[in-house]
Structure formats: C-alpha cells, structure tokens
Structure 1
Amino acid sequence: MSSIINQQIPEFTTEAFVNGEFKTISSDDVKGKWAIFMFYPHDFTFVCPTELEDMANHYEELQGLGVEVYSVSTDSHFVHKAWHDASEAIGKVTFPMLGDGTGNIARGFNVLIEEEHAALRGTFLVDPDGVVKVAEIHDLGIGRSAKDMVRKVKAAQYVRDNDGEVCPAAWEQGQETLKPSLDLVGKI
C-alpha cells in the first residue's frame, strides 16, 4: 500500500446531504481551507453513528480552527438524509455527508473494500493546498476519536505556520516543540 501522505486529494464531484439540503461538492470546494475526510462503512450501522456524533460534538471547535469536515460512505445522499432524520446521534451532524455510490472517492483515498463496496474507517487531514497531512485507517470494528483528530489538526497547523519546527509525541497546543538540528541528535 503506497502512502497518501503529502499527496493531492483525488478529484471528485458528488452529491451531499448538508443541513437539510442536497448540495453538489467537489474536490475544488475543499481547496483553500483545512479539511477532514472521515470515511465510514455504511449508514444505519453500529460504530458509525457513535463516530459521526463524536465528530459533530467537536465540529464547532474544528470550524473555529478553519476546518471543514466531510463524512463519506458509499451510501447515497438520499440514504444520508434518511439516516439523519431517523437517528438522534446523526441528527446532530451539520457537516457535509458525501455520497460515494461509485466508491471512487474511497478508492482515491485507498480505503475502499472492493468486495464489500464499503469504506474502511479512514480519517484524512488535508491542508489548504489539497495535500494530505494526516492519514489514519482503522479496521471496521475500531472506532475513532474526534478529540485526538482536533489535537492533530492543531499540530499540523502549527508545523505549517512554523517552518523548521516539529511537534513531539502527544503534543498539545502551547507545549514546547522541537527544532531538529545536529545538536539534538541522541539527546532526546
């Protein structure tokens, strides 16, 4: 499996369910701002609503950081609306829910399970240039944490804005960073 890190996101145009409306969204709409793509297997399942609700609970904070969230499954935008209307957890979702009926978006991010026509639990942080900076892929039974993704967003934004600095493990905003140099080799 080749790495998607530092690669451009795949081009796409698709229909989405967004705040009670259907809307066409393309890869061009993503550029110019930070974005999270959150792939999940299917609507009306078990772990998926807990993850989307968790992300919805952090959405306001992410928007404050200049990040748009896109949830993506191989279900259609019509199914997303039905799920949104039927589930209390999914009813909290206000970010775009992209339909990927062809599987081309999931395939482009290398998370499509072809024989099941379902996506793995893939989360990708994309910078304003449309370049993937964080990629996290889980098996179907393992849920993700939006709180940790918020931390990763802050680290990626810090690194982008502070050339020559890097964020150590478990870095939280306000903590010290590192400036890689010959002087640090073997001292950490």
Structure 2
Amino acid sequence: MSLVGKEVLPFKAKAYHNGEFIDVSEENFKGKWSIVCFYPADFTFVCPTELEDLQNNYEEFKKLGTEVYSVSTDTHFTHKAWHDHSEAISKLTYVMIGDPSHEISRNFDVLIEADGLADRGTFLIDPDGVIQSVEINAGNIGRDASILINKLKAAQYVRKNPNEVCPAKWKEGGATLKPSLDLVGKI
C-alpha cells in the first residue's frame, strides 16, 4: 500500500546533529518541507556517498525551505562515531536520526525485517506532515540529490498552483499543464 498522501505516523527518536544528541518526532516534519532519507547502515559503502551528496546539496534544500533528515536502524551513538571517523560523514550538518527500535522504519514501510536494516527509501514530506513522494531503491543502488531537488520543486509548485500539474522532465520555470476536458486525448 502506498504511503503517498498519508500523514507521517507518530514516533520519538534520538538523533545526532552538529555535535549534540537531540530528540526528534513526527512534529519536526510539520511547518516546512522535509526530506527523510533512509539508508541501510552506518560504516558501509554506498550510504556515505549518498549522505555526502545530500550534504553537498543541503544549502539548496534550505533555500527551498526544506530540512533534510537521514535515518538508519543504528543508534544516535553510532551516528556520532561514524561522523567522527568518516571524511564524508564528518561534513554532515543535517539531522541523523537513530532508529534502533525499528519504529520509524516500520512506519515508513522500509524495514527489512530479516536483516533489521532499512531499505534505501526517500520520502518528500509537505509542511502538513503528509508524504508527497516515495522512492525505494535496492541496497546496491545509490540515489542522486539533484533529482530529489527537481521533485521537491515540482511538489512545491503544484502545492502553490493546485490547478496545474508538472509533466515529465519538468524543470523550474518550465511549462505546466492545466488538466481539462480540452486536453483529454491530445497529449
């Protein structure tokens, strides 16, 4: 069952953020756009490349009024240790949420029960705490933050312009469509 259009379920977790341990809940996803990026585990191979890519694009996300959160089933302590020992991860300034109870991974339907790890899942959440986009990749396929930025811009555009839709390969400033009886069968 798709999570698109559903509100994020309640949770409470500990996170590592800029040298501190903080509390995080679903309430953090309200009032602004959020990207929640699940990954299998700290101290692995594809994960640091993705998280570093998100960091390299973090200023653009912030300009778009969006906060980024990474989540794995590791603890917030493990996130700190990884942050302290990895060149790529030491750059991160966004929140790293620990999910050792697997509650958040289950809520987002990305938990691989047999392994106790999360799938590579990306969720775009609107300011109401409602999921607008879901992408799930196999563990050996990394994601690209620039594609996520385009999805975010499209989601923000249609939220502001509810009578328009963004076609395939839409870029900011590009043509949109206004669904109507006149367009049926003509695209």
TM superposition score category, shorter chain reference: over 0.9
CA–CA separation in structure 2 for the residues paired with 1:112 and 1:42: 12
Match of residue 25 from structure 1:
24
Match of residue 125 from structure 1:
124
Match of residue 67 from structure 1:
66
Identity over aligned pairs, percent? 59
State the Cα deviation string for residues 45-65 of structure 1 (Å, max 9, x = none). Answer: 000000000000000100110
Match of residue 96 from structure 1:
95
Match of residue 165 from structure 2:
166
Gaps of 5+ in 1: none
For 1:86, the aligned partner's letter is H
CA–CA separation in structure 2 for the residues paired with 1:28 and 1:153: 20
Across the aligned residues of Structure 1 and Structure 2, the Cα RMSD in angstroms comes to 0.5
Match of residue 41 from structure 1:
40
| 1:28 CA displacement | 1.1
Match of residue 154 from structure 1:
153
State the Cα deviation string for residues 86-129 of structure 1 (Å, max 9, x = none). Answer: 01111111000000001110110000000100000000000000
CA–CA separation in structure 1 for the residues paired with 2:83 and 2:12: 22
Alignment size in residue pairs: 187
Moved over 3 A (4+): none
After TM superposition, the score normalised by the length of structure 1 is 0.98
CA–CA separation in structure 2 for the residues paired with 1:121 and 1:3: 16
| 1:33 CA displacement | 0.7
Gaps of 5+ in 2: none
For 2:29, the aligned partner's letter is V
| 1:185 CA displacement | 1.0
More displaced 10-residue stretch of structure 1: 22-31 or 40-49? 22-31
CA–CA separation in structure 1 for the residues paired with 2:15 and 2:162: 36
